[in-house]
Amino acid sequence: MNYVYLLKCADGTLYCGWTTDLEKRLEVHNAGTGAKYTRSRRPVEMVYHEAFEEKTDALRREWSIKRMNRKQKLGLIENDGNGGQKEDGLSGRGGDGNVLQKK
């Protein structure tokens, strides 16, 4: 599975990235060995993610999210609203690129 995610940094900024392992990527960011942007903004918290079967779809979505303004990104986080539980403790829908949000 391929994921696009949003992190909330300690300074309140948002960071968007792509990964195949959400938990590992969050650990790497918080260890200071992730993206240069997040190194000085730790700790970071994963506040949103979407799942995709295909890497190319995830990368396209990452690009589109990075082009959004802050208000639009906050809207993604706040408007998940589907409330379903997944096996991994995450709520939402997955696999088809629909919204998932870590609770």
State the average pLDDT over residues 40-44: 97
List the domains of the chain with CATH numbers: 2-102 (3.40.1440)
State percent of the chain over pLDDT 90. 76
Does residue 99 carry a pLDDT above 60? no
- pLDDT on residue 86: 32
Where helices occur in 17-54 by DSSP H, the ranges are 22-31, 36-39
Indicate the burial class of 35 (C-beta count within 10 angstroms; 0-12, 13-18, 19 or more): middle
State percent of the chain over pLDDT 70. 77
- pLDDT on residue 5: 97
Half-sphere exposure of 92 (CA within 13 A, CB side): 23
How sure is the predictor about 90, in pLDDT bands with cuts at 50, 70 and 90?
A: very low
User: Mean pLDDT across the chain, nearest whole number?
Assistant: 84
Does residue 89 carry a pLDDT above 70? no
Note the pTM of the prediction, 2 decimals.
Answer: 0.78
